[in-house]
Amino acid sequence: MIKSMTGYGKAEADSQTGKLTVEIRSVNHRYGEIFVKLPRLYVPFENEVKKAVAQKLKRGKIEVFIQREETAAGGAMPVVNLELAKGYYQAFSSIRDAIGLKEEVPLALITGQRDVIGAGEIAAVPESVPTELLAAVESAASNLDAMRSREGEALLDDLQKRRTFLSALIARIAGRSPQMVADYAVRLKERVAQLSGDSTVTEERLAQEIAIMADRCDITEELVRFNSHLQQFDETIALNEPVGRKLDFLLQEINREVNTIAQRPTMGKSPPVWSSSRPNLKKSANRCRTSSETVNGEW
């Protein structure tokens, strides 16, 4: 099953003390990491929230944002920190006396200081994780997962097109490979004849050189492994499970075979099928590998 690692999901729920809003977003990451930002009331339930998210989202950097909008019934009343207010008053009074001012310290100056007046939490911390909180988290995660699935369909289509193109290029190169050795033999004989001024060349020596070049240009083993990896690629993308890790490995191996094939000697003047295929071959393999890194899977 192909799913993207990027996505966004949102859900809302009503609680006794207010309205809950859960937003989850994810981006590409080699492993699965979950970061949660909670209201102070729900901090004790961070692990439960992470577990609920992890059940649906296996891979990527996942950020969870939970907000609680308090209702009139469950809202927090202003709380005055009198000791802090007195401390500010004494400090401002000391400054006033030290510089010889006569004005009174304004009340607005004191109340405007940080933490002198704050919002107190009226709602008590629940003894167990609220069901509406988990429900909202699970709903947001499901919405994100649905978005991942939609993007995964586009990724799958792109990977299949690149796989077909890559396979066609390899087939062209494989079909041309035997002829390249024969062409090299002809060019070698012509070159030796030009240098010696004589067309009589030791066949044994020529055969030896041609055999060496044929061995250097042989891509039989690479083709066998490449086609085996392609078959496993087709089987993997058809699985109904997270395939990111396996797909990434297969495309890494395909990329390895492609690089080996592309580095084989071109034997003098490269034929059009080879010179045009080699850059496209490496480019297509690299793009497949890059696309696979955005696929969701278990790591």
**In the prediction, which pLDDT does 268 show?**
43
Report whether 222 contacts 263 (CB < 8 A).
Answer: no
Per-residue pLDDT band for 278 (boundaries 50, 70, 90) equals: low
**In the prediction, which pLDDT does 60 show?**
85
Residues 159 and 275 in one domain: yes
Residues 173 and 45 in one domain: no
What's the number of domains the chain is made of?
3
With both helix axes pointing from N to C terminus, report the angle between 272-292 and 244-262 in degrees, rounded to the nearest 10.
Answer: 160
Distance of alpha carbon 214 from alpha carbon 207, whole angstroms:
10
The residue range of the domain holding 130 is 7-74+123-146
For residue 203, is it within any domain? yes
**In the prediction, which pLDDT does 273 show?**
46
pLDDT > 50? residue 161: yes
Per-residue pLDDT band for 168 (boundaries 50, 70, 90) equals: confident
Mean pLDDT (the chain, rounded): 79
26-35, 79-88, 205-214: which has the minimum mean pLDDT?
A: 205-214
The residues, ordered by sequence, that sit 6+ positions from 105 with a Cβ below 8 Å of its Cβ are 89, 92, 93, 96
Tell me the H-state helices in the chain: 46-54, 82-99, 107-111, 131-196, 203-217, 220-237, 244-262, 272-292
Residues 243 and 225 in one domain: yes
φ and ψ of 29, to 5 deg: -160, 145
52-61, 78-87, 209-218: which has the minimum mean pLDDT?
A: 209-218
Q: Is 45 helix (H, G, I), strand (E, B) or coil?
A: helix
Report which of residues 23 and 276 the model is more confident about.
23
Q: What is the pTM for the complete model shown?
A: 0.59
Average pLDDT over residues 263-274: 51
Average pLDDT over residues 241-259: 81
The tokens 């949102």 sit on which residue?
Answer: 10
CATH of the domain at 53: 3.30.230
Residues 82 and 164 in one domain: no
**In the prediction, which pLDDT does 298 show?**
45
Per-residue pLDDT band for 270 (boundaries 50, 70, 90) equals: very low
Give the other-Cβ count within 10 Å of 12's Cβ: 15
Q: Are strands 60-70 and 18-27 parallel, antiparallel or unpaired?
A: antiparallel
Residues 112 and 159 in one domain: no
Most confident listed range (2-6, 21-25, 197-201): 21-25
**In the prediction, which pLDDT does 72 show?**
53
pLDDT > 80? residue 224: yes
**In the prediction, which pLDDT does 171 show?**
82
Query: What is the percentage of the chain residues whose pLDDT exceeds 90?
Result: 21
Per-residue pLDDT band for 198 (boundaries 50, 70, 90) equals: low
Per-residue pLDDT band for 147 (boundaries 50, 70, 90) equals: very high
100-104, 112-116, 217-221: which has the minimum mean pLDDT?
A: 217-221
For residue 299, is it within any domain? no
Residues 58 and 175 in one domain: no
Report which of residues 185 and 64 the model is more confident about.
64
Residues 101 and 200 in one domain: no
For residue 2, is it within any domain? no
Residues 164 and 265 in one domain: yes
Residues 91 and 133 in one domain: no
pLDDT > 90? residue 43: no
13-22, 148-157, 283-292: which has the minimum mean pLDDT?
A: 283-292
Residues 58 and 129 in one domain: yes
Residues 28 and 110 in one domain: no
For residue 1, is it within any domain? no
The residues, ordered by sequence, that sit 6+ positions from 41 with a Cβ below 8 Å of its Cβ are 17, 68, 121, 123, 125, 126
For residue 298, is it within any domain? no
